[in-house]
Amino acid sequence: MMLTGILVWFLMPGMMLVVEQSRYNSIEETCKQLQATVETNNWKVSEIRNMNKTISKQGLELNRKVKIIELCNAKYAQDILNTNPEISTLMPLAWGVYEGEDGKIYIKIECGTYGKNVRWKYCKSYGRCRCKRGKNNT
């Protein structure tokens, strides 16, 4: 039983999150294109957080550019919150867009239950995805 818990603890994050290299050369263009793709698939970008600006307000700085895109679909949110409000701590769905050590732009995509639908539609529009497609993803 203990071994199962340890395996789940170490393996789940890798199964839930996937990193994709952006086809664009800047964080700004990547965020703009992701927002357009997301919104054409009936999701909304509720906010794009500039983490460099947020951290700098505390007198600190990051060593690379980082933004967080918060996504929401009111219908999915309603269904989830009506049946399982405990999951509200994982909402809204967020994707990280950041500059890698190599200077390239990367997108960290959540592949768990809540993110599957928008992630799959994003991947169809974006052209690739390493998350496994679930039965509810069209």
Check residue 38 and give left, alpha or beta (phi > 0: left; psi -120 to 50: alpha): alpha
Confidence grade of residue 56 (pLDDT, cut at 50, 70, 90): very high
pLDDT digit string, tens, across residues 4-15: 444 444 544 444
pLDDT of residue 40: 86
Supply angle C-alpha 88, 2, 12, rounded to 5.
40
pTM of the model: 0.72
Q: For all residues of the chain together, what is the average pLDDT?
A: 77
Contact 135, 39 (CB under 8 A): no
pLDDT of residue 79: 86
CATH topology of domain 17-126: TATA-Binding Protein (3.30.310)
On the question of pLDDT at 138 being above 50, the answer is no
Domain residue ranges in the chain: 17-126
Task: Tell which wins on pLDDT, 20 or 66.
Answer: 66
